């Protein structure tokens, strides 16, 4: 999850990049709080069909979810619930399809090979702390402040990895744990930075001591 304390740090380079980027900058600078859901950049029907076709082509099992809007400006639009991305994933709810597709690619092309390479065992399960959650960047109730990408089903928090040899590598203990666990988790973090828009881990701030946050919102930002 985002945390308010680090937000100025996050935004300073983004404001510069928005100014440089020109076209589309207005979208990125928009504050989502209390804006009607329809004003958020939407995934077109065509993009959604393509995204779901990509999931099927990759043998990813998922359930499509109906579009939903919630109090406080939260929503889960163009979302799916991932069932199997090559390994089971625990605690996932709604994810916007492009986020789900990127997560499935990260699991297959980064997490599974990294488990073999750095830990010498097959990855058998990814444990998350969830995806959709109607909350602010600081994790408080949604009555004030900026909504997190979690509030749009556009973020996922990854907490631990279960291996075939019985080991369970958590972000909490592994980030500064044994050398192989450190290498494994950093490889996953680095790979995520090439795929997701924003990636936040234990080096970002104390709120992320126990998980890696991936989202497809503003970015790129990797910490
Ligand atoms: Zn998060």
Which percentage of the chain shows pLDDT scores above 90? 74
- Measure 56 CA to ligand 1 centroid, in angstroms: 26
Q: What is the pLDDT of residue 137?
A: 84
- Going from the Cα of 66 to the center of ligand 1, the distance in angstroms, rounded, reads 23
Which residues hold their Cβ within 5 A of ligand 1, which is an ion?
1, 155, 157, 213
Question: In this model, does residue 16 exceed pLDDT 50?
Answer: no
What ranges do the domains of the chain cover? 4-222
Find the range with the poorest average confidence among 1-5, 53-57, 95-99.
1-5
Distance 31 CA to ligand 1 centre (A): 18
Q: What is the 3-state secondary structure (H, E, C) of 21-89?
A: HCCCHHHHHCCCCCCCHHHCCCCCHHHHHHHHHHHHHCCCEEEECCCEECHHHCEECCEEEEEECCCCE
What's the pLDDT at 41?
Answer: 62
Short-list 118, 80, 137, 110, CA closest to 194: 110
Tens digit of each residue's pLDDT (9 = 90 or more) over 172-197: 999 999 999 999 999 999 999 999 99
Residue 71 Cα to ligand 1 midpoint, Å, equals 20
Q: How far is the CA of 150 from the centre of ligand 1 (A)?
A: 6
**Residue range 109-152, pLDDT digits in tens:** 999 999 999 999 999 999 999 999 999 887 555 445 789 999 99
What number is the average pLDDT over the span 83-105?
A: 96
Task: Tell me the pLDDT band of 214, cut-offs 50, 70 and 90.
Answer: very high
How far does the centroid of ligand 1 lie from the alpha carbon of residue 133, in Å? 9
**Residues contacting 30, CB < 8 A, separation 6+:** 39
Alpha carbon of 2 to ligand 1 centroid (Å): 6
Mean pLDDT of the chain: 84
Distance from Cα 136 to the centre of ligand 1, integer Å: 10
CA 154 to ligand 1 centroid distance, Å: 9
pLDDT of 32 over the 80 cut = no
> Of all residues in the chain, what percent carry a pLDDT higher than 70?
78
Q: Which position has the higher pLDDT, 5 or 75?
A: 75
Is the pTM of the predicted complex or chain greater than 0.95?
Answer: no
Q: Please indicate whether residue 43 or residue 37 has the higher confidence score (pLDDT).
A: 43
1 pLDDT band (50/70/90 cuts)?
A: very low
The yes-or-no verdict on residue 8 having pLDDT over 70 is no
């Amino acid at each position: 999850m985002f945390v308010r304390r680090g937000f100025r740090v996050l935004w300073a380079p983004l404001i510069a990049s928005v100014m440089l980027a020109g076209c589309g900058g207005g979208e990125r600078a928009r504050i989502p709080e209390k804006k009607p859901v329809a004003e958020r950049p939407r995934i077109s029907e065509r993009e959604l069909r393509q995204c779901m076709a990509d999931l099927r082509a990759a043998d990813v099992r998922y359930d499509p979810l109906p579009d939903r809007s919630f109090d406080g400006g939260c929503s889960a639009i163009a979302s799916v619930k991932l069932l199997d991305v090559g390994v089971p994933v625990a605690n996932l709810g709604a994810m916007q399809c492009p986020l789900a597709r990127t997560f499935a690619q990260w699991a297959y092309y980064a997490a599974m090979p990294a488990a073999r390479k750095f830990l010498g065992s097959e990855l058998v399960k990814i444990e998350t702390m969830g995806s959709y959650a109607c909350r602010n960047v600081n994790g408080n109730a949604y009555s004030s402040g900026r909504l997190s990408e979690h509030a749009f089903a556009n973020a996922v928090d990854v907490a631990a990895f279960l291996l075939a040899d019985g080991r369970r590598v958590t972000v909490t203990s592994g980030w500064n744990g044994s050398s192989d666990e450190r290498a494994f988790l950093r490889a996953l973090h680095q790979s995520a930075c090439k795929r997701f828009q924003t990636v936040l881990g234990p080096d970002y701030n104390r709120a992320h001591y126990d998980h890696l946050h991936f989202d497809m919102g503003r970015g790129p930002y990797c910490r």
